[in-house]
Amino acid sequence: MDSLEKLLNRWSQDTEFIDRSENWFSNAPVAASFVEIQPANMHPLLVQALRQFNISRLYSHQYQSFITAKESQNFIITTGTASGKSLCYNLPVLDNLLNYPWSTALFLFPTKALSQDQVKNVNLLINQLNQLGADLPEAVIYDGDTPMHRRSQIRKNARILISNPDMLHLGILPHHTNWDTFFKNLSFVVIDEAHYYRGIFGSHVCNLIRRLKRITAFYSGNPHFILTSATISNPESFAEKLIETPVKLISDDGSPRGARHFVVYNPPFIEPRLGIRRSAYVDTLHLARDLMDAGLQSIIFARSRPAVEKLVYDLRNSLNISREKIRGYRSGYLASERREIEQGLKNGDVQIVVATNALELGIDIGEMKAAILVGYPGSIASLKQQSGRAGRKANASIAIMVATAGAIDQYLARHPEYLNNPPEHALIDPDNLIILLHHLRCAAFELPFAKEAEFGSLSKDMLGQLLDILSSAGDLSRGEQKYFWTSNSYPADSVSLRSASPEIITLHSIEDNRMRPIGEIDPHSAYWMTHPQAIYLHDGLMYRVDNLDLKEKMAYLSP
């Protein structure tokens, strides 16, 4: 009997735990569905490389993805967490690169952390292929953190380019003439975690893809699209709206899944007459202690950055454990600190991580056995994503949603069947006039618009009217056959895809007359989180803000 099973047995016999568990759902384990690799379909070196990793067969969805890509179809894959989706795009891209060494591929990830995570996976395969006699350059990351001295070399030599929508928008498409060979030979565009591109951000990204297609067409390129996504209710229609091209849906998950338990846990009353319950944070501490005592690596999802820090601080104090065993993870941590935490999770040095939804995405964080959600995260989709971070492959796992005193949480505690509903639809509106006009300016800067040009699914009449509006505003000059960009501005600079400020304020701690950076914050949050004399929590440590210099984009703190 393993440690999780022992803990579940103890909880199932604990009358207090059972009384507070409004419902306990369990899913039986599922066996894997395999398909033998067919050497006739795959480049011989790739078959050999996979065998070096003891892979002689693929999960059924991985094989279906490979065949679909070989048939030059666009597709979206929506299998569960830890189902091996990386191979669904790495295999067809590498197979194509082996057959056509000049071909290129663009991998888009919504966060830098995902880029760092995935570049290691694909380069493991590339290095193995090169040991077997291939001559492939390694996949490279091109984003805001890429040193300036490396960028020119990457533009010339990249075959698999890993980036994010923000860098594509600001640093690649506006300078496409520096990437002409790359765009001419672009065979695949991979869009990972496609469900992330909903709402305003997704509406921006759809227009970004319109611009990308326009530029690849200019260089006679015609890439195929591969999308991956967590569970959403409308994957096929959403993907087709995002890339404005027909796609095939691959949703039959062939990966193994261990037994999964899900508990809705409602803290007890402390004043029944008034309906007042104990704080969800108190019960989260109790549950985390049980998981820690059982030796189970766990993740706790909190709903805000201050909540993450409060939980980290209280967990360390109540469990009397070293800082390295319990870590926080949220926006505002330095990239080096996030990489350190991710590595600590993979090798088991970190036993509990407390995170915002920054860890919802598919970053490899090791063999999590348990997840605690402090309150309902706001959507069924997020609930499934956060719960799915526990349990890898055939291992059993448990996820516990600890209800807060809020009305929605208390409703769900009494009606847990609601949580079995399908996840929400992912919606975008790429033709929103404000967003569309922003991207038409960017597109005109990149390439002139012909009179009968197209821009995605936008009608030619509508496009003509909008270009006339931009011409009247002085952004474009209308010639006999084309609209040209004439403004002195650089339009991409004034468009934030995420509707957030691109500016960052660096937080510096002054200790022993030495100054060191400890984190980052956006200007909007700085006003209420790092104003002078504020107490700022970072990784469970408390700092006092001595000065906030918005002009220099610096904040100075003391322990």
Quick: pLDDT tens for 402-450.
999 999 999 999 999 999 999 999 999 999 999 999 999 999 999 999 9
Contact 88, 248 (CB under 8 A): no
CB burial string 216-227: b at 16+ within 10 A, e below: beebebebbbbb
pLDDT at 233: 92
Three-state SS string across 9-74, please? HHHHCCHHHHHHEEEEEEECCECCCEEECCCCCCCHHHHHHHHHCCCCEEEHHHHHHHHHHHCCCC
Q: Cα(87)–Cα(464) distance, rounded to whole angstroms? A: 43
What is the pLDDT at residue 17?
94
- Short-list 104, 163, 95, 157, CA closest to 126: 95
Q: CA quadruple 300, 303, 309, 311: dihedral positive or negative?
A: negative
Residue 352's closest CA among 374, 369, 335, 331? 369
> Which residues, given as ranges, of the chain have pLDDT below 50?
500
Q: Which pLDDT score is estimated for 209?
A: 98
Two tokens at 358?
Answer: 């920054």
Per residue in 506-543, pLDDT (tens digit) is 999 998 889 999 999 988 889 999 999 999 999 999 99
> Coil, strand, or helix at residue 373?
strand
Q: Determine the Cα–Cα distance for residues 556 and 559; give it in Å rounded to an integer.
A: 10
Token pair for residue 302? Answer: 């909190």
pLDDT for 500 equals: 46
Q: What is the pLDDT of residue 1?
A: 61
pLDDT at 499: 53
Please tell me the predicted confidence (pLDDT) of residue 502: 57
Bridge-partner residues for 455, per DSSP?
Answer: 458
Q: Which of 250, 253, 300, 254 is nearest to 280 (CA)?
A: 300
Encoded tokens for 425: 């639809």
Q: Which residue has the tokens 């890993």?
A: 162
pLDDT in tens, 144-174: 889 999 999 999 999 999 999 999 999 999 9
